[in-house]
Amino acid sequence: MSRRILTTFDVVYKVERFTTVVRSFPDHDPQSKVYMKGTWTPADILPLDGKRILVTGANSGIGYHTALVLAQKGAHVILACRDQRRGESALARLKTNAPGASAELATLDLASLGSIREFARRVLAEERPLHMLINNAGVMAPPKRLETTDGFEIQFGTNVLGHFALTGLLMPQLERAAVSERSRVVTVASIAHKRGRLNFNDLQSTRRYSPMQSYQQSKLADLMFALELGRRLRATGSRVMSVAVHPGVANTNLFRAGERSALDSALRAVASQLIGALLNSDAAGALPTLYAATSLNVTDGGYYGPTGWMEMRGDRVGVAAIAPQAQDMESARRLWEVCETLTGVRFPFRVSD
């Protein structure tokens, strides 16, 4: 029994062996423009009138709070949600909390390449610029191995392949927006990437499935995708920026969602309360995403997160630590090629003059 409880807590807290982290960011960190300017808050966001912003997984948690703040600042926000009913509830809640906000619901299942392609087709048909794409949706550590509609392990398929395909298909609209002002792709990674390893021989975890290891691998891949996307965009002279963030450890729906045993559900409920009391709320967890999406101090290709204890909490946003394996450019290029092959999506990069 004790072994089972320990394993569950390892999954719930998302801090499995995070004591290996040896780097933190003091207030005087010269890399962080945040501290040169003072503490950043959503009040520093400039008006976003006329901006169209797409947020995946916007029906709850960090995604919802991100969409809410952006709508309050005047942007037209597209809440991309898998579940129609939950999406409608989130949209109604957002309009109650932000009277007069401009927002719409769009059905998008990132676990289905067909759904992604159909969604992108509708967006492209509108021929309107997309100023920000926030790749926020995610699946975390289901106890049993599950698959997407296309047969991919659900964490790698949703967190990585789904957002890779969506970003590639929507790149024309992001480029359209970048003609007048730099557009942005913000990808939500995790401090869990520090424990992640890419197993190219078993990316789909068919030989051996570990809930947390598969999650860590997917979040490492998310960060590597964001960094590689930035390198490729800069190499072609694109005005689209790629920025990555992590929320620390936040009390989001990832801890509570999914089909789980009674024990898992009970422990996750307890963990949710503890995280809310001791670490970040989902509203605080949204701060790095909001900063990356809107701040004029953001660096193209940067990675941002909370600067509190072990980067797990805090209302200050700063430059986040990147694990060495996430900076392996050869592996990043290989991952990119794998994603292209599995999704059938090629990014329409234009060669710079």
**CA neighbours closer than 13 Å in the CB half-sphere of residue 242:** 23
Would residue 215 show up in a list of annotated catalytic residues for this protein?
yes
The average pLDDT across 243-249 equals 94
Residue 39's pLDDT is 86
Give yes or no for residue 35 having a pLDDT over 50: no
Residue 250's pLDDT is 67
Residue 81: beta bridge partners? 107
Give yes or no for residue 43 having a pLDDT over 50: yes
* CATH number, domain 2-17+25-343: 3.40.50.720
Among candidate residues 215, 291, 303, 304, the one labeled active-site is: 215
Distance CA 262, CA 265 (A): 5
Residue 32's pLDDT is 39
Residue 24's pLDDT is 30
The average pLDDT across 225-234 equals 98
The amino acid that residue 257 corresponds to is A
pLDDT in tens, 110-126: 999 999 999 999 999 99
Give yes or no for residue 229 having a pLDDT over 80: yes
The DSSP string of 48-112 is: -TT-EEEEETTTSHHHHHHHHHHHHTT-EEEEEES-HHHHHHHHHHHHHHSTT-EEEEEE--TT-
Residue 116's pLDDT is 98
**What percentage of the chain carries pLDDT values higher than 90?**
75
Distance CA 318, CA 304 (A): 6
pLDDT in tens, 167-190: 999 999 999 999 999 999 999 999
Residue 349's pLDDT is 83
Residue 279's pLDDT is 66
Residue 315's pLDDT is 80
Give yes or no for residue 262 having a pLDDT over 90: no
Residue 243's pLDDT is 98
Residue 92's pLDDT is 98
pLDDT band at 2 (very low <50, low <70, confident <90, very high): very low
Residue showing tokens 């995070």: 18
DSSP 8-state code for residue 352: P
Distance CA 39, CA 248 (A): 17
Torsion of CA 321, 325, 326, 331, to 10 degrees: 170
Give yes or no for residue 352 having a pLDDT over 80: no
Residue 105: beta bridge partners? 79
Residue 257's pLDDT is 45
Residue 280: beta bridge partners? 250
Distance CA 248, CA 246 (A): 6
Residue 37's pLDDT is 47
